Chain A
Amino acid sequence: MRTPLLRRCLLVTMALVLCLACAPAFAASASHHAGRIVLSLPGGVRGPMVLTPGQGGWVGLLTITNVGAEPLIVSRVAIRGDEDDVRSPARLAVRFADGAATSATLGPGASKDVVVSWMPEKDPRVRQAFGHVVVTSTDEDAGEVAMGFRAQVPTGLGWLGTHALSLLIGLPLLVVLVAGASRIAGRRDTPAVRRVAIGTAIVELALALWVYGRFVPDVGRADGNDGFQLVERTVWVRSIGAEWYLGVDGASIALVVLAAGLGLVALVAVRGADRRSDAYHAALALLASALVAALVALDLVVLFAAWQLVLVALVMLVGGWGTTRGSRAAAKLATYGAIGSAAMLAAFVAMSRASGRTFLVDGATVAHTLSIPELARTSFAARGPILGIPFVEATWVLLFVAVAVATPVVPFHGWLPEALEEGPPGAGIMLAGVAVMLGPYVLVRVGLGAMPEGARWAGASMAALGVLSVVYAGLCAMAQRDLRRFVAYATIASAGVSLFGVGAFTPEGIAGAVMGLFGHGLAAATLLGVAAALEQRVRTCELARLGGLGEETPALAGLTALGLAMSLGVPGLAGFWAPLLTLLGGFARHPVLASLLAMALVAAAAAHLRVARLLLLGRVEPSWRSNPYLEAYGGRFPDAMPRELAALVPLVALALLLGLWPVPVLSSIAAGVRDASATVDPTSAAAP
């Protein structure tokens, strides 16, 4: 980084965030009142209860003990949730071990065992069971108490399978450790770090594909576990009620695979950093880890921490390995990011404080929840205003500011063009391909999922802002002179389409938004891969100077053409389904805006065609023949190298496959988007 102090400031920020996140962990535990009813597990282990395979299903034992001096009447023992509030999968049962009914009277010091059993079908769609056994008794001080339980049908990979999401987050951090170790050992900039990074990225992608393979489409909220799969949940910071709560559903599974895939592409397509390459790879790995963490986080603290790490890693990469103006771009990114983070933190705190009493995964009671699925059960409408503004509206605006900065949405987009132009190409691929999708993703996950009242209030505004972004970015894209800046504005336009889709609330619109994120991730990575190749050859991506690639570098030109077509949404490529679905889903709700969007897409087409004409057609500028950069290649532009082809051709092939057969992505997201739509707009779910 040009200004090491800036980096240090960022590190201080990161340290403060971590301190703030962890400080309450060292605080004294919350006072534990001397209740008369106590739930315990055999052997005195703490919850949650792990159901183990037994006869005909998974079984666990729980003991209710009366530690008081008076008799205790247990009036109800049940699995938490009901038909209207499905929490756990079907076929769960709870009963007293002695066969008695679910009520009993326990004398002083007496105890009674409770059996919890889960009997999934032979080939179950839901392979995990998470939930709570709730016990109601005459102990008024304790109130309703609970014990969490979990059961897991074998995944085939043992411990690795049950912790797949944590591994996805942790694997890239291996690169950080290796980079740190090599530095400590005095072997700076060793190529081994790059090899480890690529190897780790390959394993990461393989693991992400395994997760995708294990993911069962069509599992929704009604199937239990709040519709999430491969759930990992354990208490993280008890004092604030934070949990290490991870899971994937339809809205996130495809994006997780994309993040892992583009992590590898960013390493392979770009040669790496010329200086401090070990630190560069470590920062890139940190970014990959944080991105996956943000996509699978189901707890606000985990999500916020991941969000901050994404920001820190991006600022480090842009400032540390960008061009001479990289530090300025990093400063801008940090400024915008700080505004967004502050807004997000405020929104999260407000949401959490507004939630009611609930249980952690082990059954401990907390006054407020940070779990996103739990927040979805909270009604925020009745909360008092904040500074005279209704609670829902104020909180939603805060959340949306964070999303709008990250997405980015006009007018919060100023950081992206500079970050892409001045930042290192590898970081650009991760940024435009994956990081910008976090905004719409958080909007779906938290905005629609946990705060549907706010989404309903802001739906039309969201859709309008989306259309404005498409129009504005389309016009800006038409005037760009640099390929990377063009990609930045194409990214803003694509984010606008996604925002419009989310604002429609229909399953089609939300599916189009998610598909748009996926499709544009492929397109942006392809185009930025081409930009990196050009930058490496001639140190510029200036469109006006790079004409005639079609004649001289057919492979690069083909990749560029396909990348532009993907970004534009040409039928037959993956990008097509996003505008189609968002238009179909949005037309029903916002016909005027949808018509404007269609026109704006035509403007975006003009911008794309302009770039195609400038880059691919015409003749190569004669001055290049004597340019020193091309001396080594005989004055001609070298075509794509095997490394570049290996990184980019799979992206194009995938885009072509998904253009004709989008089922692998669309079927996996169907249930998730249906649930998201139903949460915010119950009428859409009722439609045939």
Chain B
Amino acid sequence: MPDYAGPLQQVVLSRTLWLVVAGPILAFAWLAFVARTRLAGARGADAILRELASARLAGVAGVALATAATLAHAVMLARQPSSQRALFEHVARGARIGQVDAGLDLWLDVRALTACGLACAVVLAAALFVATRPPPDRGWAMWAWLQLALAGALVSFLADGFATLAIGWAVAGAAGAWLAGWYDDAAGVVAAMRTAVALGMMLVGAALLFRGLGGAWEDNEYAIDADLAAGVAPVHVGSGTGEASLTMTSLPGALVFVDDARAPFMRAPFVRVPVPAGAHVFRVRAGDGSDDVVVGRVQVDAGESLALVPLGPTLSFHSIADQLAVRDRQGLPVVRRAVEAHVGPGGVAVVAGVLLALLGAAGAMSAWSIPAVAPRALAGVASGVTTAALGPYLLARVDFLFPSAQHTGAVVASVGAAVLLAAVWRALGQLGMPRWLAFAGGAPTGLTCVALGLGGMSSAMQVMVATGLASSALHLVAARRGEDEDAPLRRESLDDAVLVRVPERLGALLASMERWVVESVASAMAATALIAAWVVANVDQHVVASPADVVASRVERAAEAIEPLVGAPLGRAIWALLAVVALAALVYAAWPGG
């Protein structure tokens, strides 16, 4: 077994990461099932005010709990050595069938912490804003929406894998649809449809990536050395003083045996567990009934840290990143090369396809989901985090794929620029404050993608925080001033012609063009789908089902016609015959010897 090394992300196991998302989920459940019922049953102004106050308390508490948990984990993260600033928690074992290992895992590193911090800050600001407003008629709904939106965002940001991410996106998408349908049911349905499209594209991207990483490859296609094809690579991740140690963070639940021991050494995930220095054979039992994978013999020196990295298809982000980082003695990234060199659809093409699918998913999820008509405080949350940031964050999360596809940065930046231009386009079609709000709806996504494509991850995170906070603040300011719809900007005399009238005219023109183009395309698609549905349903009813209808009618008519000729005697005879036959069969079956 050759030696491998690699800049793997060293992690610290956590048992408390779930607390970050627990607060909003519990608060949502309470608001939706308890507060709502109580409010509906409250009689008299005092009772209603009391219930509204308790709903407000629950709403603020949910957000505060999430914020406190995020801060606490930030402190925990900061106290770790700089090389180990990532918390990992395996929450539940999802699907482990064949080559699929899709667990529900949470991951908090600096990038996730930044996004979670942004989400908590924005939602906290919105919560404080809502808390100070006069009680609306459906007081529980605003609070419940905030919890749902925050929960969706936090799950999405903390997700370590496509399965968890899909759940986060589904929750965030439900929040987006609810917000869009706040005053207009049809808009809510459209928003839900957009989430379905986004999830579909994400799943296609995940499936492509799964294929690209070796999913169901024939043995001879996996063009790396035979030792790696065994499934688990021993990776030397660092050396120092003290005892030798072993780490395995993938395949949660898998048992690891050392040498000939019959009792398991540890159950994954585990990190830096001391092992005696020397040469060892490790046996990994994944727990899905497949054969044990034997790794070794591997020399582990005193002070050295060894990680067992499963290779092959997976849906876990950190597992994919780890295996793509594995390097051989010559320093070559063997797995990445194997993926890129894969024949058939082609590794690079596959990776590019994955990125395009995910880019599409990100676009469908985020760019245009801020409803024009909705409570501004809530729209601010949507604009800042719950939908606008999810797409770019997904791209940032899979940045380990970027090196395998040429010009990825340029593509991502170009898409971001296009989104930005589109936001400007939409903004120009508005007047007054709505112009800025329309701009704020698309700008965070576009700017973050531009920053990601050009400046890398840290730039993207900075831009995401800045634009998220700014756009949310803008919505809150608008809500405070009550300028939701039509408050015009104050016109300066000198700039009047240049800065206001021309853009207004241009904006009006662009807006009408956009309406014409977008609505026409959308209407055409919807009409096509409906016509297709109508045609297929009619074909189904009148053509496909027709022969069976004819036969069924004849059978029915024949039965009705013959009915008077026979009658009860026949029925009784049949029942008697059946009874005799059944009895005979039972007696025969029960007879000794069969």
Contacts and interface: CB of A to CB of B under 8 A. Distances in A.
Contacts of A107: none
B207 A583 contact: yes
B99 A687 contact: yes
A25 interface: yes
B166 A660 contact: no
A473 to B, nearest CB: 9
Contacts of A571: 163, 166-167, 169-170, 199
> For chain A, which range describes its interface: under 10, 10 to 19, 20 to 34, or 35 or more residues?
35 or more
B290 interface: yes
A335 interface: yes
B92 A235 contact: no
B225 interface: no
Given A22-B588, A332-B552, A335-B548, A613 B189 contact: yes
B189 A609 contact: yes
Given A18-B581, A571-B169, A579 B216 contact: no
Given A476-B537, A688-B229, A588 B170 contact: no
A480 interface: yes
A238 B588 CA distance: 10
Nearest to B104: A660
B192 A609 contact: yes
Interface string A601-636: 111011101101100011000000000000000000
A453 B532 CA distance: 38
B578 A674 contact: no
Contacts of A662: 94-95
Contacts of B582: 18
A567 interface: no
Interface in A318-334: 327-329, 331-332, 334
A619 B96 CA distance: 45
For A327, A336, A581, A687, which residue has the most chain B Cβ atoms within 10 angstroms? A687
For A11, A218, A477, which residue has the most chain B Cβ atoms within 10 angstroms? A11
B494 interface: no
B212 to A, nearest CB: 10
Interface stretch (A1-9, A200-208, A443-451): A1-9
A508 B571 CA distance: 50
B530 interface: yes
A602 B361 CA distance: 13
B548 A332 contact: yes
Interface string B534-546: 1011101000110
A589 B207 CA distance: 11
Contacts of A234: 594
Contact of A335 (B200, B201, B552, B574): B552
Contact of B559 (A6, A18, A21, A579): A6
Given A22-B581, A613-B189, A601 B167 contact: no
Contacts of B201: 598
B532 A235 contact: no
B229 A605 contact: no
Interface stretch (A32-40, A79-87, A113-121, A663-671): A663-671
A471 to B, nearest CB: 9
B193 A237 contact: no
B571 A618 contact: no
A92 interface: no
Given A584-B206, A688-B312, A414 B544 contact: yes
B377 interface: no
B570 interface: yes
B21 to A, nearest CB: 12
Contact of B167 (A7, A572, A606, A673): A572
A251 to B, nearest CB: 12
A209 interface: no
A581 B215 CA distance: 12
B529 interface: yes
B277 interface: no
A252 interface: no
A686 B221 CA distance: 13
Given A18-B585, A478-B529, A673-B97, A328 B552 contact: yes
A454 interface: no
B288 A613 contact: no
Contacts of B532: 475
B575 interface: yes
A609 B197 CA distance: 12
Interface stretch (B58-66, B424-432, B465-473, B560-568): B560-568
B566 A5 contact: yes
A595 B167 CA distance: 21
Nearest to A547: B185
Interface in A213-269: 217-218, 220, 234-238, 244
Interface string A418-430: 0000000000000
Contacts of B594: 234-238, 362
Nearest to A514: B97
Nearest to A11: B574
A469 to B, nearest CB: 12
A457 interface: no
A577 to B, nearest CB: 6
Contacts of A478: 529-530, 533, 537
B593 A577 contact: no
Contacts of A4: 563, 571
Interface in B165-213: 166-167, 169-171, 181, 185-186, 188-189, 192-193, 196-197, 199-201, 203-204, 206-208, 210-211
A605 B193 CA distance: 7
Contacts of A506: 98-99, 216
Given A5-B563, A591-B211, A660-B104, A688 B578 contact: no
B98 A6 contact: no
B556 A327 contact: yes
A597 B36 CA distance: 39
Contacts of A673: 97-98
A479 B560 CA distance: 33
A210 interface: no
B592 interface: yes
B130 to A, nearest CB: 23
A9 B559 contact: yes
Interface in A493-512: 506-508, 511
Nearest to A6: B559
Interface in B216-232: 216-219, 229-231
Given A19-B581, A236-B594, A571-B163, A585 B196 contact: no
Interface in B435-475: none
A327 B552 CA distance: 9
A331 B552 contact: yes
Given A18-B578, A217-B289, A598-B203, A584 B215 contact: yes
A661 B219 contact: no
A5 B570 CA distance: 9
Contact of A674 (B98, B315, B585): B98
Contacts of B86: none
A555 to B, nearest CB: 10
A687 B215 CA distance: 9
13 contacts: A3-B560, A3-B563, A25-B585, A217-B289, A414-B548, A414-B549, A476-B540, A572-B167, A602-B200, A612-B192, A613-B186, A617-B188, A670-B288
Interface of A: 3-9, 11-12, 14-15, 18-19, 21-22, 25-26, 46, 217-218, 220, 234-238, 244, 327-329, 331-332, 334-336, 362, 410-411, 413-415, 472, 475-480, 506-508, 511, 554, 568, 570-572, 576-577, 579-581, 583-585, 587-589, 591, 594-595, 598-599, 601-603, 605-607, 609-610, 612-613, 617-618, 659-663, 666-667, 669-671, 673-674, 677, 683-684, 686-688
Given A5-B562, A674-B98, 16 more contacts: A3-B560, A5-B563, A18-B585, A218-B288, A220-B289, A335-B555, A362-B593, A511-B98, A554-B36, A585-B100, A587-B210, A594-B204, A603-B529, A617-B181, A666-B96, A670-B97
Closest 5 CB pairs of A and B: A588-B216, A507-B98, A235-B594, A688-B231, A478-B533
